[in-house]
Amino acid sequence: MQGWQNGYASACRAEEPSSTKLFKKVSSKNNSLKKSFGNLGPCSNFVINMMMIIGLIGSFLILLSWILGLYDEIKSKKNLIEIKFSIINLFGIFFLLIYSLFIKELPFIILNAGLFILILLEIIYSIKVSK
């Protein structure tokens, strides 16, 4: 093995910080990423942990956009989305939440649970505004 590859490989094998142990534990339950990426050698856990972090960042950004949209809706005291679309969204997110629990993917569980709560709040707000 060349010098730089040996150094990189040994860096990947170094003791991981405790914050990545959660990601390692979650990703070890589901080997779908390992199947997708194949054998990445000594850095496969690092890549899987990075994919989990990327997924979590994406989940939080999507939730943030929904939170800001709901905040604007409440601030303007207007119902910007028809309730029938919110109800369809609620059922869709509910089924996606069940699926994400089944596949045990933390980013999707967080995203779908958060969206379920936000859409439920949006429906409650829409009902109050329409009265």
pLDDT for 25: 52
Closest CA to 127 of 93, 84, 89: 84
Q: Which residue has the tokens 């829409």?
A: 126
Q: Which residue has the tokens 């194949």?
A: 38
Per-residue pLDDT tens digits of the chain, which is 131 residues long: 454 444 444 555 555 555 455 555 555 554 555 555 556 666 778 877 888 889 899 899 999 988 888 888 888 877 667 788 888 989 999 999 999 999 998 999 999 999 999 999 888 888 888 77
pLDDT for 111: 93
d(CA 22, CA 110): 15
d(CA 72, CA 68): 6
Predicted TM-score (pTM) of this structure: 0.64
Structure tokens at 16: 């991981």
pLDDT for 122: 87
**Domain of 117: which CATH number?**
1.20.1280.290
18 phi and psi angles, rounded to 5 deg: -65, -25
pLDDT for 1: 46
Range of the domain at 29: 3-130
Domain count, the chain: 1
Amino acid at 41: G
* Cβ proximity of 60 and 114 under 8 Å: no
Q: Alpha helix (H) ranges present in 14-105?
A: 19-29, 32-37, 44-76, 83-103
